[in-house]
Amino acid sequence: MSTSTDVRQERPGVLHVRINRPEARNAINDVVAGELARTFESAENSREVRVLVLSGAGEGFSAGLDLKAFADHGETGEVPGRGFAGIAKRPPSKPLIAAIEGFALAGGFELALACDMIVASRDARVGLPEVKRGLVADGGSLLRLPERMPLPIVMELALLGHTVPVETLHRWGVVNRVTEPGGAVTEALELASAIAANAPLATAATKQVLAHSSRALHAAGWEEQARITQPVWASEDAREGARAFKEKRDPVFRGS
């Protein structure tokens, strides 16, 4: 069994998927992304799975893209047809709940936003620091957040790159439930169990109708985003940001 993800059916109808790279802050590389995609594909075809819960091992949910793998090998954590972490562009058709402890930063926050609901501990650090590394948050957050929060608030969050209190995201409706530290996974599993107890056909149809109302799942939005962001990912600033992270120093950006 791989050590990058851990999959357990802990409760009837509920599949708990855990990113298991605590030594790398559960950062997403190509291996993890592929494993998550295969897990979600398998869950789609399983009658035993009605709801999924996604969490991270150790002290946090996910720090996002593995910048060391990006700096050394150009890994982007993308899965063809599914996007970042095997979920950003095409989440599972079955309800998916993110359980955030510790931190969900950059692509880790985008991974949570690709889920249908978020349960987070009140002390978790959440944010989109990509601009501080010469990168763009193009894993779905810039498409999804304006559907849930006022645009000026999203602008501040994304352009400053600072962390945002979980309580603030809860007030705006981005986070469904806030727990005491250490309680996010248990609360998410309880929520998932309550959903799994409902009629599976009705549950699936309800999610399908709601999901189709989202601009974030429309191909045109992703295509336009790629046109704008791909030159940034290919820039020297992007490489400098990743190198600076790896070398634990401040980046020197030149706008090229």
| Residues that are catalytic | 110, 130
Tell me the C-alpha distance between 182 and 123, whole Å: 10
Q: What are phi and psi of 28, to 5 degrees?
A: -95, 115
Residues in contact with 212: Cβ distance below 8 Å, sequence separation at least 6, in sequence order: none
* Dihedral of the alpha carbons of 129, 182, 120, 189, in degrees to the nearest 10: 130
Tell me the C-alpha distance between 209 and 211, whole Å: 6
Kindly state the DSSP code that residue 74 receives in the 8-state scheme: -
Q: Which residues of 118-151 are buried (b: 16+ CB within 10 A; e: fewer)?
A: bbbbeebbbbbbbbbbbbbbbbbbbbbbbeebee
Q: Which helix (H) or strand (E) holds 96?
A: strand 96-100
